[in-house]
Amino acid sequence: MSAHASHAPKRSGLWDWLTTVDHKKIAILYLIAGGIFFLAGGFEALLIRLQLMYPESSVVGAKTFNELITMHGTTMIFLAAMPIIFALMNAVVPLQIGARDVAFPFVNSLGFWLFFFGGVLLNTSWFLGGAPDAGWTSYTTLALNQFSGHGVDFYVLGLQIAGIGTLIGGINFLVTIINMRAPGMTFMRMPMFTWSAFVTSGLILFAFPAITVGLVLLMFDRLFGGNFFNPDAGGNVVIWEHLFWIFGHPEVYILILPAFGVISEVISTFARKRLFGYSSMVFATALIGFLGFMVWAHHMFTTGLGAIANTLFGLATMLIAVPTGIKIFNWLLTMWGGQIRFTSANLWAVGFIPTFTIGGMTGVMLAIPPADYQYHDSYFVVAHFHYVIVGGLIFGLFAGLHYWWPKMFGKMLNETLGKWNFWTFFIGFHLTFFPQHFLGLMGMPRRVFTYLKDQNLDFGNFISTIGAFGMTIGTILFVVNIIVTANSSKRAPADPWDGRTLEWSIPSPPPEYNFAQTPLVRGLDAFWIEKVAGNKGMTPAEPLGDIHMPSPSFLPFMMSVGLFIAGYGFMYHNYVVVVIGLLVTFACMFLRSVNDDPGYHIHEDEIEEVKA
Amino acid sequence: MATHHANAVLPDEPEKATLEGKNKLLGFWLFLGGETVLFGSLFATFIALRDQANGGPTSQELFDMPLVAAATLLLLTSSMTAVMATLALHKKNLKQIQVWLTITVILGLGFLGLEIYEFMHYVHEGHKISTSAFGSSFYTLVGFHGGHVAFGILWIILLQVSATKKGLTVVTAPKFYLASLYWHFIDVVWVFIFTVVYLMGMIGGKVG
Ligand code: HEM
Ligand SMILES: [Cu+2]
């Protein structure tokens, strides 16, 4: 032991961020990168809506419109929503289970940088000859060379790189949650957010390899003369649909389950009650995760799989309404009779419930195969999935960010700005997407850059674009709030909301070792139990002692840079560049495996005992 | 944790003696779960496309039992020698581990050699990735497996070299264990390739 360095090499500024393996800092990196991509995706959405504000307009034109919808969908799903979820999971999960760290800090940082460089690669397409334009689903044959531009190559390679990052991130959380829980933290005492992170990570593990394979096959077709999706040479385009949706449907649960987790935490904290029906919530989460894998073909009703397949997939889809309904009722019953505080965080959570429920109801409508022939590829679908993804996930993320901001940054977000932010976004959201249900029913097709005058589509589209401005204002207010908060000098207390779970038992922001002494967990809502028993903080499960920490490392960054370089080499058929890129990556892997990280120790006398 | 001396007493089952080791083991099993989905998707694609020769050579015309049998034999034997390496690990005998792994690597290289020969031969016969959907799916599935074998060989060699300096410790033991687990996994995948690609491709005309 004495051989170790007792201090981390002191790092500061940019270098610190490029090399950090601390899950709390990685959370912030995910938040910043995901936030920037969210702004980009939102800007793209605004341009789409401007194009559609009036009939037969030519604000951006057809070609750019195709690029915009493709990049908007792809960016929002892969580069905004997923990373912000990872931001919350990184910030919160280790704290909620009483862990000092995640299982693989190095892998954690690698996962971030892979996502980041994959996303950058994808977005450079805008400047290198045009963005992908085959839709975020990249359906073949549209996505083959004959019918789409070079941009799809950026999609194929960018998403492969980012996807590896997500996959290893998922494995990291699974192992962390299984192996690193504090004494007494049984599975059935785990907070709902951690449970949802657990199930989500499991879904990532089994869903992402499927899209990776799809992307590899598409890459072979586009870059190396493969024939997977070329019907002229025996290829089969339905394979792409299957692979895409075997990933794509679980993906929507990967997105929504963490939001469910956030809502459970926020609602019970601000109703000052323990979550109603905790074990049924756990069960419902796991069941939704499982069923999520059984229903992918409901995206393919009109593909022609046949009546039997359509019926089975339709029924399986409707089945998911049961566990989802359980969750909705449990949230309502948690609020029932509680002492509800309408903080900004809770506004988002309460706003989530009816909004998400509407999205769920239109989902059941879409699950009826014959009806889907009518809705398919119309604005009804666009309305449905935005009710689920924005009204569900994005509301959930806003709730989570307002709730955990003090824990992550040690500052309280401004409540007044938060409320303005909520109401403008909430009203803007419903203005944008509610009319789209009717536009769809009236026959307005999705992914078409304009519509004709006087077909009863003018008014709905106009309102929808006005709503998009509302959401834009809401988003800007959130950015303003962040700036105002960052410049204020008021520090957040350890437990600003009178919280129930472990993360509130340590200072805001937490020290790098999280818990000076691993806490002993005595039940569900571990910190609440201690507070009710009149204790100041958690009872420690171990004596105070030296804490071992992993060293920071620049290798994850460099490994990702290597793949980033190799990606361009593949796209431009320049194999010298490919080899250079891959050599960088492999050299880093080599260095990592040859030099075992001894880490360093934080000594007992440097650890401050926490007074909650 | 990290710097046990070579002569320090190793615990039983050194691969899971530390939390780091346990994490690695669990994480690796999960990773193999993901790999299963990866290969499952490739198999499904292959099965859907294997009869689509598009006028190019078909599987019945190409495949040749003796060659595939030899490759299979090499790989299955190498799996057995990898088991021997794990047994040696549990006996904490580094020298034995190194011997068994060296044999594993040699067998693996033999397998790869045969596969490269096989691919070159097929290309010569006009069976390329661009010939047909069958060609694309064949080279992708079998090639992905071959890539895994090549990666495994590099990994094991690297491990062997660095272990000569580091010795057998609670840090290196999980790595040995995982490498051999990985090796079994690609062996199991090969058994499926042997059955689904080669056996089913040699017998009969159209199946399904
Ligand atoms: C924040 C405000 C948002 C607005 C105003 C908005 C608006 C739009 C519009 C107008 C379309 C194009 C519909 C079409 O013509 O096909 C679209 C498509 C889409 N949006 Fe959004 N959206 C927003 C947020 C999001 C978010 C947060 C996500 C996901 C996390 C998302 C995911 C998608 C997807 C997947 C598509 C389909 C793209 C395609 O057809 O390939 N959107 N959105
Ligand atoms: Cu779905």
Q: What is the pLDDT of residue A607?
A: 84
Q: What is the pLDDT of residue B191?
A: 97
Taking an 8 Å cut-off on Cβ atoms, the answer to whether A233 and B41 are in contact is no
Rounded-to-integer distance, Cα B204 and Cα B208, Å: 11
Q: Which of A57, A60, A66, A69, when mutated, tests ligand 1's pocket best, judged by the most ligand atoms within 8 Å of its CB?
A: A69
Cβ A411 under 6 angstroms from ligand 1: no
Residue B82 corresponds to which amino acid?
A: A
Residue A568 CB neighbours (<10 A): 18
* Closest ligand to Cα A137: 1
Between B22, B41, B175, which is nearest A179 by CB?
B22
Rounded-to-integer distance, Cα A399 and Cα A352, Å: 9
Q: Which residue, by CA, sits nearest to atom 15 of ligand 1?
A: A447
Low-confidence ranges of chain B (pLDDT < 70): 1-8, 204-208
Q: What is the pLDDT of residue B9?
A: 78
Q: What is the pLDDT of residue A558?
A: 98
Cβ A174 under 6 angstroms from ligand 1: no
DSSP string, A167-203: HHHHHHHHHHHHH-PPTT--GGGS-HHHHHHHHHHHH
Residue among B26, B32, B45, B54 with most chain A CBs within 10 A, to mutate? B45
Cβ A436 under 6 angstroms from ligand 1: no
Closest residue in B to A176 (Cα–Cα): B23
pTM more than 0.90:
yes
Low-confidence ranges of chain A (pLDDT < 50): 1-5, 610-612
Rounded-to-integer distance, Cα A324 and Cα A271, Å: 21
Ordered structural domains, chain B, with CATH? 65-196 (1.20.120.80)
Distance in Å from the first CA to the final CA of chain A: 32
φ and ψ at residue A329, rounded to 5 degrees: -65, -35
Task: Write the DSSP symbol of residue A275.
Answer: P
Rounded-to-integer distance, Cα A156 and Cα A229, Å: 14
Residue among A224, A227, A236, A601 with most chain B CBs within 10 A, to mutate? A227
Q: What is the pLDDT of residue A1?
A: 37
Cβ A447 under 6 angstroms from ligand 1: yes
Taking an 8 Å cut-off on Cβ atoms, the answer to whether A209 and B41 are in contact is yes
- Asked if the C-beta of B85 comes within 8 angstroms of chain A's C-beta atoms, the answer is no
Taking an 8 Å cut-off on Cβ atoms, the answer to whether B54 and A227 are in contact is yes
Q: What is the pLDDT of residue A9?
A: 61
Taking an 8 Å cut-off on Cβ atoms, the answer to whether A243 and B162 are in contact is no
Task: Write the DSSP symbol of residue A608.
Answer: P
Angle between helices A344-366 and A307-319 (to 10 degrees): 160
Rounded-to-integer distance, Cα A206 and Cα B35, Å: 9
Q: What is the pLDDT of residue A610?
A: 46
In angstroms, what is the span from residue A257 Cα to ligand 2's centroid?
14
φ and ψ at residue B128, rounded to 5 degrees: -120, 170
Rounded-to-integer distance, Cα A329 and Cα A326, Å: 5
* Closest ligand to Cα A299: 2
Residue among A167, A171, A173, A204 with most chain B CBs within 10 A, to mutate? A171
Residue A112 CB neighbours (<10 A): 26
Taking an 8 Å cut-off on Cβ atoms, the answer to whether A225 and B2 are in contact is no
Rounded-to-integer distance, Cα A381 and Cα A385, Å: 6
Q: How close is the nearest chain A Cα to the Cα of B159, in Å?
A: 8
Q: What is the pLDDT of residue A399?
A: 98
